[in-house]
Amino acid sequence: MNNSRVSPEVRQKLETKLQIMTQAMVSGDPATVASIYADDALLTDLKDSRVEGREAIDRHWLNLSRFLDWQLLPLETGGDAETPYQKLHSIAHLSRKEKTYIDEGYCFVVWKQGPDGEYRIYIDIYHPLQFGPIE
């Protein structure tokens, strides 16, 4: 589902950012993923995890295990040009202690356009569906 207030150009910019994130995490560059977040961003699961602000966002991404692959699939895009949102399906395979794990869930992401015209993630709410080793 798409909201017509978000132009195809904005949608394309957001999808490009998602591609940058997934490619960076797979290539071992979590700092690039963190840089897609605004300095005052919030990353939360609305339960136990609350990561807020530049230092915490950087630390969060730098401390994650290496991703073997990662897909961020847009399910819905809406909002407006200044603060678009996306509902995403995230599927990642990562390596941890010589085992491969799957981390799958939904993300609700609110982007905000900075003074430089770039979109950065302002709010990222993650709802996990499954996490565990692949047998």
pLDDT tens by residue, 71-117:
999 999 999 999 999 999 999 999 988 899 999 999 999 999 999 99
For the chain, domain boundaries: 8-133
8-133: CATH topology is Nuclear Transport Factor 2; Chain: A, (3.10.450)
In angstroms, what CA-CA distances link 133 with 66, 98, 116, 120? 14, 10, 41, 31
What's 2's DSSP letter? B
Three-state DSSP at 96 gives strand
Q: pTM value? A: 0.93
Three-state DSSP at 57 gives helix
**Kind and range of the H or E run holding 47:** none
The structure tokens 């530049």 sit at 54
- Backbone dihedral angles phi then psi of residue 12, each to the nearest 5 degrees: -65, -40
Cα separation, 34 vs 59, whole angstroms: 9
* pLDDT-derived band at 66, boundaries 50, 70, 90: confident
Cβ neighbours of residue 38 under 8 Å, at least 6 residues apart?
Answer: 112, 114, 120, 121, 122
